[in-house]
Structure 1
Amino acid sequence: MRLFVFKKERMITLKLTSPLLNYEAKTIVNRWPSWIGHAAILWSVLYGAIHLYWLLDGAGYPYKNDGMGLFTAMVTHLHPKVGGIVFATLCLFSVVLGHAIQKRQLNVFYRRFAIAYLWGFAVALLLFIPDTMLISAMAYAFLFKFGFNWQMLNQIFCIIGALLWMMAAVIYQRETRQACKFCGRTDGGEVPALVRWGKWLTMIAVFAPIPYALTRFAWALDIPLGVDPQFLKEFSSANPMAHVTELVFGSLCITGGILTLGLIQKWGEVFPRWFPFIGGKRVPIMLAVIPASIVAIAITAAGFVFTSGIFAMAFHLTSMENSLHSQGWGPMGPMIFWVPWGVALGLAAIAYYYRRRGQCSTCGRG
């Protein structure tokens, strides 16, 4: 730590050392494999306790349909009591298994069961609890419309829990195959499969949003692509900003696709020289990975909701079937590509990370 002292127009630099501040080599963040499992357990204890509170008729139960119909999260279709019991039980099992994997003494069967359960629990938190709120909030933010409520906060909290359990499962898997906990590399030096498939995953993520973008551009130009002309006319009349909104939504998809290309292009590793101030400098890995991962999670969750709704209509399981069919394929059809879009984007971001990461500071493998 440096302390700058001004005295008689001279700047004197004093070096101070402290064992509490000298974490240059090993910070809490850099030692995440050692505490991530405990953080996941703590999350499950907290969220399980919250569900028990709701089971006892506590206020603030967030899983409500609120008239969203097909656009609501899967968990809202459960009775509140049933949902509370299910998630309280899932949290309890995750705590038990979390403690078990910390001891590293499970046999092969229980080890595989623990890994499968924790991954399944994390995926359930990502797919069954979030709805379309997160992706809508991101999109409308570009129109300077911001909204935040307890339901969205609950969804974000569950996504954090899912990520914690995913990382805890990854660390346990690495330990069971004698790989480095920090980087996952082994003495074999094999290239991760995601790196080999990174180009194809990226291209899927680039092209998947195009059908959605095309319909939105068409509506912005009053072209009834995939919808009844009368419906488009009434929709535009009822929403003065409809044309601007659809133009922005379509543009975000195209812009996102172009940025996604950076995961496999040189300009995704080094800023182009015409960039002011940062031209020619290397792109920080997390500057690409973190935003891509956040968007991938939001898109996948929303896409799962849309896809479930489409199948519900196909098998006549919803009363909204007739009204949506009368509007045409445009409002819902392009969303069938959202799950592949989100999954491909998330995997492409991981492949980008694996490809660009350097030598591991812990095991020395590179």
Structure 2
Amino acid sequence: MTTSLLASTTSSGPRRPSRAGHAAALWSAAYGLLGLAWALGAPGFPWGRSDPDSDRELSILSGASPVPGGWWIAGLGAAGTLLALVLGRSRGRGPLRLLPAALAWPAAAALTLVIPDSRLMMGVAYTPLLLVAPLFGWRLGGTRLLDVWPWEVVNQLLCVLGGVLLATATVAYLRRGRDACGDCGRTADGGGWTAPGEAARWGRRAAYVAAAVPLVYCATRWAWALGVPLGVDEEFLVEQARETPGIWLAGAYLATFGAFGGLLTLGLTRRWGEVFPRWMPGLRGRRVPPMLAVVPAAAVSVIVFVAGLTYIRLALQGRFGSSDVGTWLPETSWPVWGAALAAAALAYHLRRRGRCRRCGRL
């Protein structure tokens, strides 16, 4: 849903579908060459033993190696390049018109949601804290920006980018096949569930879910900061605080970060999410640019969905215990959070996009 949202908000003009396919093809070719370099011995393979966190098995590719992993990447990169060119240049008609999309969607989902792991969320969440920590003298266990953004995590951002580009090209290809507008995706048949009124209805429900789900996680971290062993035993709190001073303050920060994000999600259904409120000097009364809300919400929806999948996978592998459920059980609900946030952002976009400049449909 997130990738469809990004696709529907970035097309512009009659040649945009071709550009989307070409961009995806360029990414696939470049990443395929990177895989070839790794297979031939170049450093920087981001998984397996090269990954400093490989022993934690956070990545689904924690057991991969440059050989044959690099060869697989090179081969899939070549195949992805050809597929992206088909998506960008074909009209998408005939009995086999759905085949390219059927191949592209799983690949886009794998790149965007499966290959990344929870470290992507940690990088995004900790970056603001690490930037302001020196101003207040917080040590945070000596953690630095490079610690939360090593090459292995930056590579995950590259994979997400590739998945979004491929999904964008796929949506553009399907639009051409059903004679929909290349900019907005609307047809002469009417809006249906994408009509502003319908989008407001289901988008409101999605926003409420997206705002409520993270509160369970927030409750545990706030409790730990206050010394309350919610979901864990007291020894765990004492031991972790001794090993990493300030860890529970950092946890409370993350909880507050999540709760604030939930509050902002509600803005996708409120007037203050469309017009800047009066208490914002210089902006009060001005129209909120839709993409100022849509793009961050779509990005966060991917990040929390990915993190939730990581915790679910580790839980199914038996990596967690019953005595510390507070450290992992709330996170297993995050895919619901991510999906609901993506739906709320999509509904917000559909409500506010107005009349299409290209096709004139409302």
Amino acid at match of 1:214: A
Whole-Å separation in 1 of the counterparts to 2:128 and 2:89: 47
SS state at 2:334 partner: helix
In the TM superposition, 1:1-366 aligns within 5 A as 30-31=12-13, 32-64=16-48, 65-67=51-53, 69-70=55-56, 72-104=58-90, 108-144=94-130, 145-147=144-146, 148-193=149-194, 195=199, 196-313=201-318, 321=319, 324-325=320-321, 327-366=323-362
Any gaps of 5 or more consecutive residues in structure 2? Answer: 1-9, 131-143
Query: What residue in structure 2 maps to residue 23 of structure 1?
Result: none
Q: Normalized per residue, which structure has more helix?
A: 2
Identity over aligned pairs, percent: 38
SS state at 1:328 partner: helix
| Greater RCO, 1 or 2 (C-alpha within 8 Å, sep 6+) | 2
Please tell me whether Structure 1 or Structure 2 has the larger radius of gyration of its CA atoms: 1
Kindly state the Cα deviation for residue 192 of structure 1 after the two structures are TM-superposed.
3.5
Q: 1:134 to 1:102 in 2, by over 3 A?
A: closer
Whole-Å separation in 2 of the counterparts to 1:85 and 1:111: 30
Q: Encode CA deviations 1:295-316: one digit per residue, 9 max, x unaligned.
A: 1121111111111111111xxx
**Relative to structure 2, which stretch is displaced further, 75-84 or 159-168?**
75-84
Any gaps of 5 or more consecutive residues in structure 1? Answer: 1-27, 314-320
Amino acid at match of 1:60: G
SS state at 2:170 partner: helix
Q: Encode CA deviations 1:314-341: one digit per residue, 9 max, x unaligned.
A: xxxxxxx3xx316420111111111111
Whole-Å separation in 1 of the counterparts to 2:242 and 2:94: 63
Given the two structures, how large is their TM-score scaled by the length of structure 2?
0.85
Amino acid at match of 1:37: G
Kindly state the Cα deviation for residue 79 of structure 1 after the two structures are TM-superposed.
4.0
Q: 1:143 to 1:216 in 2, by over 3 A?
A: same
Query: What residue in structure 2 maps to residue 24 of structure 1?
Result: none
Q: 1:94 to 1:110 in 2, by over 3 A?
A: farther
Q: What is the Cα-based RMSD across aligned positions, in Å?
A: 2.1
Whole-Å separation in 1 of the counterparts to 2:302 and 2:226: 30
Q: 1:105 to 1:178 in 2, by over 3 A?
A: closer
Query: What residue in structure 2 maps to residue 7 of structure 1?
Result: none
Whole-Å separation in 1 of the counterparts to 2:91 and 2:350: 30
Alpha-carbon contact 2:115-2:156 (below 8 Å) kept: yes
Q: Encode CA deviations 1:14-63: one digit per residue, 9 max, x unaligned.
A: xxxxxxxxxxxxxx984443411101011101111111111122211011
Query: What residue in structure 1 maps to residue 138 of structure 2?
Result: none
Alpha-carbon contact 1:228-1:326 (below 8 Å) kept: no
Kindly state the Cα deviation for residue 219 of structure 1 after the two structures are TM-superposed.
0.6
Q: 1:338 to 1:276 in 2, by over 3 A?
A: same
Query: What residue in structure 1 maps to residue 139 of structure 2?
Result: none
Alpha-carbon contact 1:271-1:282 (below 8 Å) kept: yes
Alpha-carbon contact 1:70-1:309 (below 8 Å) kept: no
Whole-Å separation in 1 of the counterparts to 2:88 and 2:53: 43
